[in-house]
Structure 1
Amino acid sequence: MAGHGFRPVYHPAGHDHALRNAAQDLRTGRWVAMARLLDETTGWDAWTRRTQVLAAVAAGTDVVHTWRTEQPESLAAGVMHSRVAVERAVRAHRAGHTRTRELWQEAWTACREAADLAPADPVPWVGLIALATLDGRQRMAEHRIAPPAPMLPPGPWGLLAEVEKRDPHNREAHHRMLQFVYARRPGPLSEAVNYAHWAASQAPVGSALHVLPLYVRVERYRRERGHERALDLHWVAEDALRDAQHALDTWFLFCATDEASLLDLNHLAHALFGALRFTEAARVFESLGPYYTTLPWAYRTPHPDDRVLAEEVFLRARARCLGD
């Protein structure tokens, strides 16, 4: 993968070629490949990841509705219906759409119905955590449950407990909880720092939750809009280096990188690069193969919405670490 002719590829399916094929079929209005893929999926980790990617593709279409119409008895179709409903509600909220409340209610109902239909499935509960982010003032009782440890905020802890019963240390559930914490307190990130370290401390070796503190560090300087030099100074700080090394030692060295989140791999490569640990970062870049994500690299540019600039920063970092 080395060499000046290398061009990275962005695709949410990453190394999961079967997921990529199903997503491509979705874009052409067909649901059979999605149904077949989900029928063959084993393990909640893969199930959560695949349904999330498929929902992001399907949210702008009626494909899942068609699938449910043609196979009303399908549990997978019911879960995907809840996934799509949540995706639409979250997108509407971000855009400030007038239909946000209506879509939120539809999604909440879809998640509750999916939880009843597929009681062993963690995904409907993950969806309910995602919807909690829309309740910034925590008006719903299920969004202001007392936390399980000191220094953590009240929140949708009961929903997280339901996920944990079904799939302990579910990656997406904890990222959704982190988003809830961000939305709850838009100012200082102390609650988010506490949450990320608490979640990582509960996780076994090999869990992607060990990467969570790196996301909070990126969010901090995203909010501060620091220039690139400030970011570099951030990562060479002792506590930042400790978080990066911890993610490397307790997650990366033990995970199956071809099944790992591309975002997690990019956040780790970015942290190690910023910390001047080029040899360790090179291992992460190699594990990415041809793939990359625009975040967090985009935050090292003056225009975070410019994907071309993000790609250029990624390529420079990769070349420095791999010695291209």
Structure 2
Amino acid sequence: MTGSGFRPVFHPAGHDHALRHALQDLRAGRWGAMARLLDDTPHWDGWTRRTQVLATVAAGTDVVHAWRAEDPDSAAAAVMHGRVAVERAVRAHRAGHARTRTLWQEAWTACREAAGRAPADPVPWIGLLALAALDARRHIAEHRVRPPAPMLPPGPWGLLAEADRRDPYNREAYHRMLQFVYARSDGPLSEAVNYVQWAASTAPTGSPLHALPLYVRVERYRRARGHEHALDLHWVAEDAIREARHAMDEWFLFCAVPEASPLDLNHLAHALYGALHFTDAARVFEALGPYYTTLPWADRVPRPADRSRAEEVFLRARARCLAG
């Protein structure tokens, strides 16, 4: 893994080999492995992560539709239907598609139906949170609820509370809320900073929410049009180092790596590398194994869409840290 022949692997399943098999089955137009995988997923964190990854592939197919047709009583199929509908609406919104509003309404209905079919499941509420980011002007009343703490903006706090009630500190739920905060403001990121600091301060030890501030720091760098400066002052500022150390000490040292988000691990490796904490960064790179995500490395290059250049930055950072 540390030699010159190392090649990073970009795969949404990361260390989850059972999920990888289900994705292969899904791409072949079959839903059986997906159904069995979800049936064998006992915890909400794994359930949330797996349904999200499955939906990114299923959204381009009619496999979930076929599953529901053959097994109409399946609550898991209803939840996946909501997942797929949300994914399609979000993609349409991002692309400025003319059918965005229709897909948004279909997704909202699908999530509400799934919530009724699976009342203990946080995922339908996470889907509604994802849709809230499409309502940047907060036209819908449930998207402008009073916040739970000072310095936080009004937003879909009731939806977050519903997800929290079913799975406290659910990683995706809090990331979806961050996307809403981003969507409602094109100006300074002070609201996002306040939000992630609040979330991290309330999260228990071992929670991936301690990595949330790392995402806002990358967003600040991206908006400032910072480019390929490997040891940019942005990353060695006192607060940047503090955020990286906090994520290391409060999350990484306690997390089960095979169940951790590859995106979180890449953000932490990136933050520690930028903070010049190469020894700690090496531990995260070793935990990652071959699994690489384009972000946040793509924000270090002049053209973020150039994946090959982003991969080069990742490889340089990894080699520098492991050399120590």
TM-score under structure 1 normalisation?
0.99
What secondary structure is seen at the aligned counterpart in 2 of 1:2? Answer: coil
CA contact (8 A) 2:196 2:213 kept: yes
- SS of 2:284's equivalent in the other structure is helix
8 Å CA contact retained: 1:235, 1:275: yes
Gaps of 5+ in 1: none
Counterpart residue number, 1:254: 254
Indicate the SS of the match to 2:229. helix
Deviates more, 1:188-197 or 1:226-235: 226-235
Total equivalences in the alignment: 324
Give per-residue Cα distances to partners, 1:70-103, cap 9 Å, x unaligned: 0000000000000000000000000000000000
Q: Residue in 1 aligned with 2:127? A: 127
Shift of 1:231: 6.4
CA drift at 1:298: 0.5
Q: Distance in 2 between matches of 1:20 and 1:281?
A: 26
Instruction: Work out the CA distance in 2 between the residues paired with 1:4 and 1:171.
Output: 35
Distance 1:130 1:92 in 2: 13
Q: Which residue of 1 aligns with 2:293?
A: 293
Q: Indicate the residue corresponding to 1:179 in structure 2.
A: 179
Asked if the contact 2:230–2:274 (Cα under 8 Å) also holds between the matched residues in 1, the reply is no
Mapping 1:34-113, distance limit 5 Å: 34-113=34-113
Instruction: Report the CA distance between 1:224 and its aligned residue.
Output: 1.2
Matches within 5 A, 1:128-143: 128-143=128-143
What are the residue-to-residue correspondences of 1:184-263 with 2, within 5 Å? 184-229=184-229, 232-263=232-263
1:12 paired with 2:12, answer yes
* CA–CA distance in structure 2, aligned partners of residues 230 and 100 of structure 1: 39
Which consecutive aligned stretches of 4+ in structure 1 deviate over 2 angstroms post-superposition? 227-231
Q: Which amino acid aligns with 1:202?
A: T
Counterpart amino acid of residue 265 in structure 1: L
Q: CA deviation at 1:54?
A: 0.2
Aligned to 1:265: 265
Displacement after TM superposition at 1:229 (Å): 2.8
Distance in structure 1 (CA, Å) of the matches to 2:33 and 2:175: 28
Q: CA deviation at 1:259?
A: 0.8
Amino acid at match of 2:217: R
1:29-76 residue CA offsets vs partner (Å, 9 max, x unmatched):
000000000000010000000000000000000000000000000000
**2:126 is aligned with what amino acid?**
V
Whole-Å Cα distance in 1 between the matches of residues 57 and 299 of structure 2? 25
Deviation at 1:290, TM superposition (A): 1.0
> In the TM superposition, what is the alpha-carbon distance from 1:258 to its structure 2 partner?
1.3
- CA separation in 2, counterparts of 1:119 and 1:232? 47
CA contact (8 A) 1:297 1:311 kept: yes
TM-score, normalising length: structure 2? 0.99
Cα displacement (A) at 1:223: 1.0
2:167 corresponds in structure 1 to 167
Q: Which moved more, 1:218-227 or 1:134-143?
A: 218-227
Q: CA deviation at 1:232?
A: 1.8
- Cα deviation 1:211-263 (Å, max 9, x = unaligned): 00000000011111112338621111001100000000000000001110000
Q: Which amino acid aligns with 1:5?
A: G
How far off is 1:309 after superposition?
0.7
How many angstroms apart in 2 are the aligned matches of 1:223 and 1:179? 15
Provide the C-alpha distance between the structure 2 equivalents of 1:319 and 1:257, rounded to a whole number of angstroms.
21
SS at match of 2:49: helix
Q: 2 CA distance for matches of 1:243 and 1:154?
A: 25
Q: Distance in 1 between matches of 2:15 and 2:230?
A: 33
Q: Is the 8 A contact 1:232 1:275 kept in 2?
A: no
1:122-147 superposed Cα distances (whole Å, 9 cap, x missing partner) = 00000000000010110000000000
Q: Distance in 2 between matches of 1:126 and 1:227?
A: 33
The gaps in structure 2 that reach 5 residues or longer are none
Question: 2:230–2:300: 8 Å Cα contact kept in structure 1?
Answer: no
Question: What is the CA-CA distance between 1:186 and the residue it aligns to?
Answer: 1.3
Alpha-carbon distance, 1:157 to partner: 0.2
Structure 1 CA distance, aligned partners of 2:15 and 2:240? 29
Amino acid at match of 1:19: L
Which piece of structure 1 moves more, 230-239 or 126-135?
Answer: 230-239
Tell me, what secondary structure is at the counterpart of 2:294?
coil
Q: State the match for 2:312 in structure 1.
A: 312
